[in-house]
Amino acid sequence: MTIQLTRRYSFAAAHRLHIPRLGEEENRRIYGKCNNPYGHGHNYVLEVTVSGPVDPATGMVAHLGELDHFVEREVLEAFDHKNLNEEIAAFRERVPTTENLCIEIYNRLRSFPAARLARVRLEETSLNTFEYSGETDGSPS
């Protein structure tokens, strides 16, 4: 009996979408106002889904406290109230779009020991959400 647990977190961060090797005009064309030179920010809502059998003794798929502790240590501590471009190593070379942020968070969480990481869902605004479940369908991981 596999059950999925989804836990909701949030963090506030600043970022700027910009590809250094392209010119201002090209960046503006690709990213619009997200390319504004001084940056802007969001309240990101993060939903982490883990999946596994229910422990017959405790009736739990994973201990919420453990999951919170893991997400806090691997993700929130690094990203909350930070500037993604300036303070996260992964975004020195990659543009901190929400797509890339979602994959970065997935990779930081995939080693959660108590249950299998099934999915990371990241809301950039109430209108845009991104979801990543690891490798493409059917591919080995």
Handedness of CA 4, 9, 10, 16 (dihedral sign): negative
Choice from 65, 89, 111, 113 touching its own copies (CB under 8 A): 65
**Number of chain positions touching its own copies (CB under 8 A):** 61
Choice from 71, 78, 102, 109 touching its own copies (CB under 8 A): 102
Active site residue 87: no
Work out whether 3 is an interface residue with its own copies (CB under 8 A).
yes
Work out whether 40 is an interface residue with its own copies (CB under 8 A).
yes
**Closest approach of Cβ 47 to its own copies, in Å?**
8
Active site residue 81: yes
Work out whether 89 is an interface residue with its own copies (CB under 8 A).
no
Q: How far is residue 68 CA from its own chain's centroid?
A: 15
Give the torsion through C-alpha atoms of 43, 75, 102, 29, to 10 deg. 60
CB atoms within 10 A of CB 44: 22
Q: How far is residue 73 CA from its own chain's centroid?
A: 14
Q: Which of 34, 47, 74, 87 is catalytic?
A: 34
Taking Cα atoms as reference points, which of 135, 107, 99, 123 lies closest to residue 47? 123
Active site residue 102: no
Q: Are 110 and 135 in contact (CB under 8 A)?
A: no
- Provide the annotated active-site residues: 34, 81, 124
Binding site for its own copies (CB under 8 A): 1-8, 10, 12-15, 17, 19, 30, 32-34, 36, 38-43, 53-54, 57-61, 63-65, 80-83, 86-87, 94-97, 99-100, 102-103, 125-132, 135-137
